[in-house]
Amino acid sequence: KAKAAQGAELVYFDEELQAEQRYRFTLEQSIRQGLDNQEFVAVYQPIFSVEGECIVGFEALARWQHPEHGLLGPGEFIPLMEERGLISRLTEQIISCVVPQLAHWHNINPDWFMSLNLSARDIQKPSFIDNLTSLIYAHKLAPEKVVLEITESLLLADWQNASQVLESLKSLGVRLALDDFGTGYSSLSYLHRINADKLKIDRSFIEHWSQTADARLLRTMAHLGQSMNMTVIAEGVENREELVFLGEIGCHQYQGFLSARPMLPEDLEAGGWLL
C-alpha cells in the first residue's frame, strides 16, 4: 500500500512539475512576442531633494504593457528574462524609451537626471557601450544626466569585466549609482574601487528606521556615502517621519510613495509634475 501511495505521489509531483514547465514555456513565448511587439515600456518615478522636496531627476522602471493583463511589474518578467538570456533585449527597449524622454524633458528642465537599471548581462555585451554612446549623441544629451544603476551582485558576477566596462562608461561621462546598497555581499573595497557617484540605500533599511539597530545602520551608510563624496539617495520613503529622519542623517535625495509613484509620461504631465 505504501508503495502504491508513493507511486501516486510521484505521478502527482510529475504533473505539477509539468504544469510549472508549461507555464514557464508559455510565459517565455509571450515575453518573446512582447519584445517583438515593443510591449515593454518605462514608467518614471520622480526623485526629490530632501531639502526643498523638489524634483531632481527620475528613475525609469520597466513595465510590460500586456495586451490582456494590463501593466505588469518587473517581478512578472525580469527573473525569466534573466534566466533565458532576454534581459539585454529589455534593456535595449527601455533605453530607447528613456533617452528620447530625457531629451524631451530637458526642454523643461535641463538639470533633471535620468536613472536606469542594468543587469549583469548588459555590461557583458560588447555592443552595449557603443549603442548607449550613439543614442546619447543622437539626442544631444549631456552624458552626465544619464545615470546607470548597478547592483553589488552585478559587480560580483564578473568583476574583471565589470570594472573595465564601468571605467569606459565613466569616461563617456555617464554617472553610476550603486543600487539596493546594503542588501548584497560586496565588500567595502569594491565600493571604493568602482567609484560610483551615487549610493542608493535599499528600502528595507528605510522601512525599519525606527528600530535602533536599523537607525544606526542607516546613519552609518549615509555617512559612508558622504565621506566618499557620493550623493546619498533613499529608496521607498513612504511617510513623513522617515523623511525627517533621513534629513537628519544627511541623505541628499529620496524617492518614494510619500511623494510620487512611478508613472507613465502622460500621467506625469497630467499630474502637473513636469511644471
Residues lying near ligand C2E in the complex (CB under 6 A) are found at 45, 61-62, 73-74, 78, 91, 94, 117-119, 149, 179-180, 203, 235-238, 255-257, 262
Dist CA 247 CA 244 (whole Å): 5
As given in the structure block, the three cell numbers for residue 27 are 510565459
Residues that bind Mg ion (CB under 5 A): 117, 149, 179-180, 200, 202, 235
Residue 74 interface partner, choices ligand C2E, Mg ion, none, CB cut-off 5-8 Å depending on type: ligand C2E
What is the widest separation between alpha-carbon atoms in the chain? Answer: 76
Which of 71/270 has CB closer to ligand C2E? 71
Residue 119 touches which of ligand C2E, Mg ion, none (Cβ within 5-8 Å per kind): ligand C2E
Please state the closest distance from residue 233 (CB atom) to Mg ion, in A: 9
111: number of CA atoms within 13 Å, CB side?
Answer: 7
Planar angle of CA 33, 35, 36, nearest 5 degrees: 65
CA–CA dist 258, 45 (Å, integer): 12
Instruction: State how far the Cα of 112 lies from the Cα of 46, in Å rounded to an integer.
Output: 10
90: phi then psi, degrees, rounded to nearest 5: -65, -50
Comparing CB distances to Mg ion, the nearer of 206 and 243 is 206
Looking at the Cβ atoms of 22 and 208, the one nearer to ligand C2E is: 208
- Whichever of 140 and 240 has its CB closer to ligand C2E, that residue is 240
Partner interacting with residue 102 (select from ligand C2E, Mg ion, none; CB below 5-8 Å by kind): none
Alpha helices in 139-239 (DSSP H): 152-157, 159-172, 188-194, 203-207, 212-227
Give the nearer residue to Mg ion in terms of CB position, either 122 or 235: 235
Tell me how far, at minimum, the Cβ of 63 lies from ligand C2E, in Å.
Answer: 7
182 binds, among Mg ion, ligand C2E, none (CB under 5 to 8 A by kind): none
Closest distance between ligand C2E and the C-beta of residue 49, in Å?
Answer: 16
Q: In terms of Cα–Cα distance, which of 154, 159, 255 is closest to 201?
A: 255
User: Of the two residues 30 and 259, which places its CB atom closer to Mg ion in the complex?
Assistant: 259
257 binds, among Mg ion, ligand C2E, none (CB under 5 to 8 A by kind): ligand C2E
Cell of 263: 508613472
CB-neighbour burial class of residue 82 (10 A; exposed 0-12, middle 13-18, buried 19+): middle
